[in-house]
Structure 1
Amino acid sequence: MSECIQISFAVCRIGIYTTITSMRAVGISSLFTINIYLLVLCFRALCCKGPPPARPEYDLVCIGLTGSGKTSLLSKLCSESPENVVSTTGADNIRKYWSRYYQGSQGVIFVLDSASSEDDLEAARNELHSALQHPQLCTLPFLILANHQDKPAARSVQEIKKYFELEPLARGKRWILQPCSLDDMDALKDSFSQLINLLEEKDHEAIRM
């Protein structure tokens, strides 16, 4: 089960400085909007050359099993104290309703617990495979976050890539597999930066067409 969060990012490409301006928790699946300022827009604003053009927005759906760390990661990005985070709870059969939140999405963030039990890792594998093949998501860029890398039992990115069979399954798709934890926000922000690059590449392809 997961939560729905709306986040706005303003990104200047030097240092990937990220500002989060709003957050709203409303339900089962995580959906948030990323707003991006390219470096040139920052310069335009600083040099008083008129207001910058409207910021591009992207609707992303964030999914993952209960306990994977979705709420904690997104709350930390919002600079909230982990002490104030209340984990999302719910029955596993809620997963069948995830697809209700897929329509209109432009990208997918899948969070998995890299230190989970074999049974939970298998369940996460099945859900990721299902998302990668879903007709509303299969053409979208995926950011796969291997969370809880700070735990002793955490599996490496290479182990997860092999176990999840990402190379054969996601061949021809646009996906990123990144390690993360609450203790390494720089790595998490870098992961989002890579996803933003994929989203921008898609926009440029659409313009060329």
Structure 2
Amino acid sequence: MSAGKTSLLSRLCSEGSDRIVPTTGFSIKAVPFPNAILNVKELGGADNIKKYWCRYYQGSQGVVFVLDSASSDEDLEAARAELHSALQHPQLCTLPFLILANHQDKPAARTPNQIKKYFELEPLARGKRWILEGTSTERMDGVKEVFSQFILLLEDKDTPPARI
């Protein structure tokens, strides 16, 4: 919750950010990039929604997980557990994934390397293709660039795993 999924998605779609409210269920948006259009299913992070996440996994080609890198230890642990659970689901366990360590502009933000260690991404990935990137809605050029890299990862099965 409050990781910034809706804000990042709205900014990627060039929508105004003045009326952004947390996603209470799910939303689907077509996000245009120069080399592709990504159909993104945004799943709300509220506790009463999480039990329904798996209903939206079918047909997925990749996973984008947004976390608040400046959150409390308790919230970060909950995000870690959610990521591990999702990436072990049969419909997601072989897919490439992108982790956005959002809110890098906040003083308490953990670095991508700290997130990598805390989330135990090396053992979790087990040879899967993945990207971990620090992000902020203040630096959308970087967000767009990492999505362009993720699109290449989705298209290229020979890309070596892991990139930070």
Residue 99 to residue 193, structure 1, CA distance change in 2 (3 Å): same
Structure 2 residue runs of 5 or longer lacking an equivalent are: 25-44, 160-164
Matched, 1:106 2:41: no
**C-alpha displacement at 1:119, in angstroms?**
0.7
TM-score if structure 1 supplies the norm length?
A: 0.63
**C-alpha displacement at 1:91, in angstroms?**
4.0
Matched, 1:184 2:139: yes
Greater gyration radius = 1
**C-alpha displacement at 1:203, in angstroms?**
9.6
Whole-angstrom distance in 1 between the partners of 2:105 and 2:48: 29
Structure 1 segments (4+ residues) deviating >2 Å:
87-91
Q: How many residues align structurally?
A: 139
- 1:50-73 alpha-carbon deviations (Å, 9 max, x no partner): xxxxxxxxxxxxxxxx21111000
Matches within 5 A, 1:90-129: 91-129=46-84
**C-alpha displacement at 1:84, in angstroms?**
2.1
What amino acid is aligned across from residue 76 of structure 2 in structure 1? Answer: L
**C-alpha displacement at 1:202, in angstroms?**
3.2
**C-alpha displacement at 1:81, in angstroms?**
2.4
Matches within 5 A, 1:55-204: 66-89=1-24, 91-202=46-157
Residue 164 to residue 80, structure 1, CA distance change in 2 (3 Å): same
Structure 1 residue runs of 5 or longer lacking an equivalent are: 1-65, 205-209
Percent identical: 76
